[in-house]
Structure 1
Amino acid sequence: MTPKQRKEAAMLKQQAIVNAAKADGNRALTAEEQAQFNDLQREIDEAQAEINTQERGLAGGTGAPSAPPAAIPQGNPVQTATAAAGAPQDGQRAAAEAERTRAAEIMALCRDFDIDPTEYVRNGSSLDQVRSAILDGMRQTGSPVGVQVTRDEGDTFRERATDALMMRAGVTVENPADGAQELRAMSLRDLGIECLSRDGRDVRTLLRMDPDEMYGELCRQFYNPTAAFPAILDNTIRKSIVQLYNAVPTTFQAWTTKGSLKDFKTTADHEYVIGGMGDFLLVPENGELKPMIPKTELLPNRKLDTYGRTFSMTRQAFINDDIGFLTEVPGLYAQAAKKTIDKQVYGLLYNNGKIFDGVNLFDAKHNNLIKTGCKPSQASIQSIILQMQRQKDQFGEAIYITPQHIIVPVGYEFELAVILHSAQVVGSNNNDINPLYNYPINIIQTPVLNALAGENAVPWFMVANTASAKHIQVDYLNGQETPTVRRMETPGVLGFQWDIYLDWGIAVRDFRGIAKNPGEKIVAA
């Protein structure tokens, strides 16, 4: 790396340290973080010194040391006097050079952080004092200001290679990096040679390696955090996972709410819902406003768990140039993660276990269970909507519930389309007006309910708009919905290995926003 690149990389790491402290409550740096920050600053100073030396050399060698003065004979008084007169001039030149160096270093440091250096140069501050002042400002604001990192050719090459591998694997890439098409036909061995040659390895030696030897060489690069080849594999896997995860046709995300938790602890008992404010009371003339103490009800606890797998690129896959592991294998795991959430959500509805109040989710006590099951019809849909709209909140107040989704198993979609989009009641001899005509309800059909029920009756559900009543919530660690991929360094394992994992939890926030009809057995046509 060039001195400029080393300097920019160190500045980026400094910014990451400060950003982490800011995200953690804008705290001060720990002793370890401060030591890391200071080490990085020394790297920045060393790189800057190299840059200054190079710039002086380009300017014509003004920074080169001058030849030492000739020795002055002690016995010649004229020469001795001349030397004595020249000594102050040499001291003045040295002082002037030191001042120019101080000013240049301060201006360079301030320029990196977009700070005006005028006052620091004028008041005689040393470079260490300026650096300390900038660090104090970073602590107060939470992050350094104006740090710009220039992308080098290595970053650009990694982007091109990542997009090339994805396109070769059949994954659609929107706006691929310039030059990605040129790398699309490269085998894994050829890509490894290209990466190693860019790191300074002899190309002729690399070309003489057979695929097995190249695989061993790249495996050693796997543990180097700056190596290009494993970084390209990481980026390809991550981009593929996000794309394939989002393409999984699950339905839970269409009606559940999304939450975020910062850790794996069970949420504290101090989460409450406040209500029971009562009515506004008439205040007579010269009357007194009467206080009302709000009532509180404890909300259910929420908790996250971690789910994951591990996968690897084997030696045989590399030698056979099989890039399926880059997209297909991690993509299948990503799909499995999303499908697992889908099954857990609908399993929660189907199994109807006890919730935070010790009562089953769907129960007569909750007023959200239809006693006699049947398939969706005009009458049964109206009945479940009206029952839902008669719910009251925790404090006995009426709730304005807006039904928004009807969740059904496979087999009812077409009948529901007729029920909700026919102007007249189907089968009526009097052409009665259909009250559900264009009723604003989304039909959500899921085969998971069919699979859970097997040969038994298959239930269906009515779900409210979350703004009017809560029901099921899926929480993620810090709101991250897609799986995380981490390169796994396992000694003794032959091959490239990665972990893929996702943190989530499913909670019933309230029973009032969802109602159940036990349904009936669906007979296949």
Structure 2
Amino acid sequence: MIYDEIGGWGISAQQFARELSNLGKVTQITARIHSPGGDVFEGMAIYNLLKGHPAHKVCHIDGLAASMASVIAMAFDEVIMPANAMMMVHKPWGGTIGDADEMRKYADLLDKVESTLISAYQTKTGMDETELQSLLAEETWLTGSEAVEKGFADTLSEPLQMAAALNSKRLKDFENMPEALKNLFAPQGNAPVNNPPAANPQGNVADPQPAPAAPAATVQPTHEQIAAANKQRIDGINAAFKGFDNLTELKNECIANADIDAAAAKDKILAKLGEGAAPAASQPQSTIIHAGNGNLVGDSIRAHLLTRAGHQKAEKDNQFSSFNLMEMARASLTERGISSHGMNKMEMVGKAFTHSSSDFGQILLDVANKSVLMGWEKANETFELWTKKGELSDFKPTRRVGLGEFSSLPEVPEGAEYTYGTIGDHGANITLASYGKLFSITRQAIINDDLNMLKDIPMKMGAAAKATIADLVYELLTGNAKWVDGKPLFHADHNNLTSGEHSVENYGIAAELMETQTGHGEDGRDLNIMPEFLICHPSKKRLATQIIKSSSVKGADANSGIYNPVQDFATVISEARLKAAKDAYYLSAAQGTDTIEVAYLDGIDTPYIEQQEGFNVDGVSTKVRMDAGVAALDFRGLVKSTGK
């Protein structure tokens, strides 16, 4: 569907070539054109791509094929036009700045460009070159019947309701446009009113936007009524496609077709999802889809911002790679058909944030969220190495069953009944809490092209979120909070508290305390918990590593046969939060054992961004939120030594 300007601000040759290549080996290509034309060199590239393609090519002129769009139509084997569609041919035009010699060179260039256009028309129509030159010089508008008569089209079809309205600031350049056609160029609904891009040899005009078909009634609807109906239709289609991010191309096709509403879109979704259930057709037919409705633009803007923020590699063909934040804000509005005409920078950016149809605010939040996650993932915190990860579904206190709460399983004689085990009163409670902070993505930051609010600040907040969890974990260790039995977590009665400096002997004593722990059940069964980690202050990290990694005991002769009994018995974790008692160290059982649990709401173990209630006029207020709970589940998988 070529429902757009030809060129960089609409359908570029690069984009067209990529999508044509992606079709693979097809035997038939169908295109639908409703375009005011555009850049002559981009258009000739598209013409040559189609002309050289081996598939049988059919083109439908749905409303208008003007200027360069009419040239592209000449590349098709069959051109079908309704009686009420139109085709326009004219001489190429453009402008340059320079001296007389440069002006003459530019005039020569326009003559050469005209010869290439005439060649394309002549190949299709077989008309005499002189006659074609006359048609171009007069800016000739052809109805469907006239186009078929002169050979520009092959088949005349029944009149159709116009599929879309076009908006152009270059209306004055089409001097001979029929009066009945001018309504197509009036702003329709959400159609953008843009300043045109720089002139080129064929002339660029603003993007056409899909609009609803005109109803067959005696009284024609007003532009406002058409706009309201079209917005309702597009909103319905967007709602139908919510959750189907992989069907963006189909959504674009539905939006571009004025005959498709939300109900019809749902049918197309079901049909698309059902593809593959039946054998593939032996003669594949594909349609090239191009729609400038904001989705493709939104994806490109999002990709470029992710690249600038360091979250992904650059896309070579991203058309927004040279855009700053303010230009992307304007493009987000334009491609959604929202006019920013006459607004200053602050107003335009504010509208990009707040307009219900704009993607811009959500795109910025997506990029900021990636930065938050990057900050979380890169944060060098140690608690995740040894704590138990859990999940909670709500904020109510939840009781966990600790180590050894059950006794050994008794034998069940043949024919006897199984008995229920009982849970004692030693289970620990764990409760979720919310942690977060606000930040704003301001209009001033967008105007200044400042990525700090999208990259650095969210990254630091992500790192701060992980540090918050780490603070809670190590506060339990160093604070020696009371356990459910009323005694401190580390206590002589818990058989998990010892003393002695870092040494082979003292490590062995601490390990033995853990290894000999028993359960609370009726028989107090042996639990055989093994130490996996030794947690110490950085000032003791190298000493602890040397003791554990050495194959022999310090002071013993290398040939004495005395080997290190604690060699590799645990992995050393260095944690700066143990600074209050730098000599102390802790042993922890393997990760997943009931030691300290870090539980997350619904298992979401990363921070996430939420939009605060509504937007304000200065930007987007956003909060980074973390829902987590930290609790000591059992003392028997933990041992503390004072280190003295």
If the length of structure 2 is used for normalisation, what is the TM-score? 0.54
Q: Kindly tell me: are residues 397 and 431 of structure 1, through their superposed partners in 2, closer, same or farther at Cα, counting changes over 3 Å?
A: same
The aligned counterpart of 2:464 is: 336
The aligned counterpart of 1:258 is: 389
Contact kept, 8 Å, 1:300 with 1:356, in 2: the verdict is yes
Q: Kindly tell me: are residues 221 and 343 of structure 1, through their superposed partners in 2, closer, same or farther at Cα, counting changes over 3 Å?
A: same
The aligned counterpart of 1:378 is: 504
Say whether 1:513 aligns with 2:513: no
Q: For residues 187 and 242 of structure 1, what CA distance do their matches in structure 2 show?
A: 24
Q: How does 1:295-334 map to 2 (within 5 A)?
A: 295-298=422-425, 299-334=427-462
The aligned counterpart of 2:608 is: 484
Q: For residues 168 and 108 of structure 1, what CA distance do their matches in structure 2 show?
A: 36
The aligned counterpart of 1:471 is: 595
Pairing partner for 2:564 from 435, 441, 446 = 435
Say whether 1:368 aligns with 2:496: yes
Q: Kindly tell me: are residues 271 and 362 of structure 1, through their superposed partners in 2, closer, same or farther at Cα, counting changes over 3 Å?
A: closer
Q: Tell me by how many angstroms 1:345 deviates.
A: 0.5
* Local SS of the residue matching 1:164: helix
Say whether 1:190 aligns with 2:315: no
* Local SS of the residue matching 1:375: coil
* Local SS of the residue matching 1:297: coil
One-letter amino acid of the structure 2 residue matched with residue 378 of structure 1: V
Q: Kindly tell me: are residues 168 and 290 of structure 1, through their superposed partners in 2, closer, same or farther at Cα, counting changes over 3 Å?
A: closer
Q: Tell me by how many angstroms 1:353 deviates.
A: 0.9
* Local SS of the residue matching 1:219: helix
Q: Kindly tell me: are residues 164 and 382 of structure 1, through their superposed partners in 2, closer, same or farther at Cα, counting changes over 3 Å?
A: same
The aligned counterpart of 1:216 is: 347
Q: For residues 390 and 317 of structure 1, what CA distance do their matches in structure 2 show?
A: 61
One-letter amino acid of the structure 2 residue matched with residue 111 of structure 1: A
Q: For residues 237 and 575 of structure 2, what CA distance do their matches in structure 1 show?
A: 51
Say whether 1:159 aligns with 2:299: yes
The aligned counterpart of 1:249 is: 380
Q: Kindly tell me: are residues 261 and 151 of structure 1, through their superposed partners in 2, closer, same or farther at Cα, counting changes over 3 Å?
A: farther
The aligned counterpart of 1:416 is: 544
Say whether 1:345 aligns with 2:473: yes
The aligned counterpart of 2:525 is: 397
Q: Tell me by how many angstroms 1:221 deviates.
A: 3.4
Q: Tell me by how many angstroms 1:436 deviates.
A: 3.8
Contact kept, 8 Å, 1:424 with 1:431, in 2: the verdict is no
Q: How does 1:127-206 map to 2 (within 5 A)?
A: 154-169=294-309, 171-173=310-312, 175-176=313-314, 179-180=317-318, 182-201=319-338, 205=341
The aligned counterpart of 1:128 is: none
Q: For residues 106 and 152 of structure 1, what CA distance do their matches in structure 2 show?
A: 19
The aligned counterpart of 1:503 is: 627
Q: Tell me by how many angstroms 1:349 deviates.
A: 0.2
Q: How does 1:267-286 map to 2 (within 5 A)?
A: 267=398, 275-277=406-408, 279-280=410-411
Q: Kindly tell me: are residues 463 and 327 of structure 1, through their superposed partners in 2, closer, same or farther at Cα, counting changes over 3 Å?
A: same
The aligned counterpart of 2:421 is: 294
Q: How does 1:43-58 map to 2 (within 5 A)?
A: 51=259
Q: For residues 473 and 12 of structure 1, what CA distance do their matches in structure 2 show?
A: 40
The aligned counterpart of 2:357 is: 226
Q: For residues 179-216 of structure 1, what are the alpha-carbon distances to aligned partners after superposition, in whole Å with 9 as ceiling and x for unaligned?
A: 44x5344221111122122122458x37xx5xxx2232
One-letter amino acid of the structure 1 residue matched with residue 450 of structure 2: D
Q: For residues 156 and 49 of structure 1, what CA distance do their matches in structure 2 show?
A: 17
Q: Tell me by how many angstroms 1:487 deviates.
A: 2.2
> Does 1 or 2 have the higher relative contact order (CA < 8 Å, sep 6+)?
1
Q: How many residues align?
A: 391
Q: For residues 137-180 of structure 1, what are the alpha-carbon distances to aligned partners after superposition, in whole Å with 9 as ceiling and x for unaligned?
A: xxxxxxxxxxxxx99764443333223223334x242x555644
Q: For residues 394 and 265 of structure 2, what CA distance do their matches in structure 1 show?
A: 44
Q: For residues 270 and 538 of structure 2, what CA distance do their matches in structure 1 show?
A: 65
The aligned counterpart of 1:240 is: 371
Q: Tell me by how many angstroms 1:441 deviates.
A: 1.7
Q: Tell me by how many angstroms 1:293 deviates.
A: 4.5
Contact kept, 8 Å, 2:402 with 2:634, in 1: the verdict is no
Q: Kindly tell me: are residues 109 and 198 of structure 1, through their superposed partners in 2, closer, same or farther at Cα, counting changes over 3 Å?
A: closer
Q: Kindly tell me: are residues 293 and 318 of structure 1, through their superposed partners in 2, closer, same or farther at Cα, counting changes over 3 Å?
A: closer
Gaps of 5+ in 1: 17-45, 54-103, 118-149, 521-525
Q: For residues 333-377 of structure 1, what are the alpha-carbon distances to aligned partners after superposition, in whole Å with 9 as ceiling and x for unaligned?
A: 11111111111111110000102221111011111111x3x3321
Q: For residues 421 and 394 of structure 1, what CA distance do their matches in structure 2 show?
A: 35
Contact kept, 8 Å, 2:403 with 2:519, in 1: the verdict is no
The aligned counterpart of 1:459 is: 584
Q: For residues 221-242 of structure 1, what are the alpha-carbon distances to aligned partners after superposition, in whole Å with 9 as ceiling and x for unaligned?
A: 3233431211221111111111
Q: Tell me by how many angstroms 1:250 deviates.
A: 0.3
Q: For residues 494 and 107 of structure 1, what CA distance do their matches in structure 2 show?
A: 41
* Local SS of the residue matching 1:194: helix
Q: For residues 525 and 345 of structure 2, what CA distance do their matches in structure 1 show?
A: 72
More displaced, 253-262 or 185-194?
A: 185-194
Q: Kindly tell me: are residues 397 and 446 of structure 1, through their superposed partners in 2, closer, same or farther at Cα, counting changes over 3 Å?
A: same
Contact kept, 8 Å, 2:399 with 2:428, in 1: the verdict is no
Contact kept, 8 Å, 2:405 with 2:519, in 1: the verdict is no
Pairing partner for 1:9 from 217, 235, 238 = 238
Q: For residues 495 and 345 of structure 2, what CA distance do their matches in structure 1 show?
A: 67
The aligned counterpart of 2:271 is: 111
Q: For residues 8-34 of structure 1, what are the alpha-carbon distances to aligned partners after superposition, in whole Å with 9 as ceiling and x for unaligned?
A: 533344899xxxxxxxxxxxxxxxxxx
| CA RMSD, Structure 1 to Structure 2 (Å) | 3.8
Q: For residues 116 and 432 of structure 1, what CA distance do their matches in structure 2 show?
A: 70
Q: Kindly tell me: are residues 151 and 358 of structure 1, through their superposed partners in 2, closer, same or farther at Cα, counting changes over 3 Å?
A: farther
One-letter amino acid of the structure 1 residue matched with residue 600 of structure 2: Y
Q: Kindly tell me: are residues 200 and 420 of structure 1, through their superposed partners in 2, closer, same or farther at Cα, counting changes over 3 Å?
A: same
Q: For residues 341 and 106 of structure 1, what CA distance do their matches in structure 2 show?
A: 44
Contact kept, 8 Å, 1:260 with 1:477, in 2: the verdict is yes
Q: Tell me by how many angstroms 1:113 deviates.
A: 6.3
Q: For residues 609 and 356 of structure 2, what CA distance do their matches in structure 1 show?
A: 15
Q: Kindly tell me: are residues 245 and 353 of structure 1, through their superposed partners in 2, closer, same or farther at Cα, counting changes over 3 Å?
A: same
The aligned counterpart of 1:61 is: none
Q: Kindly tell me: are residues 460 and 334 of structure 1, through their superposed partners in 2, closer, same or farther at Cα, counting changes over 3 Å?
A: same
Q: Kindly tell me: are residues 391 and 109 of structure 1, through their superposed partners in 2, closer, same or farther at Cα, counting changes over 3 Å?
A: closer
Q: For residues 366 and 15 of structure 1, what CA distance do their matches in structure 2 show?
A: 55
Q: Tell me by how many angstroms 1:485 deviates.
A: 0.8
Q: Kindly tell me: are residues 105 and 344 of structure 1, through their superposed partners in 2, closer, same or farther at Cα, counting changes over 3 Å?
A: closer
If the length of structure 1 is used for normalisation, what is the TM-score? 0.65
Q: For residues 622 and 265 of structure 2, what CA distance do their matches in structure 1 show?
A: 44
Gaps of 5+ in 2: 1-208, 213-232, 246-253, 278-288
Q: For residues 51-107 of structure 1, what are the alpha-carbon distances to aligned partners after superposition, in whole Å with 9 as ceiling and x for unaligned?
A: 479xxxxxxxxxxxxxxxxxxxxxxxxxxxxxxxxxxxxxxxxxxxxxxxxxx9998
One-letter amino acid of the structure 2 residue matched with residue 245 of structure 1: W
Q: Kindly tell me: are residues 156 and 461 of structure 1, through their superposed partners in 2, closer, same or farther at Cα, counting changes over 3 Å?
A: farther
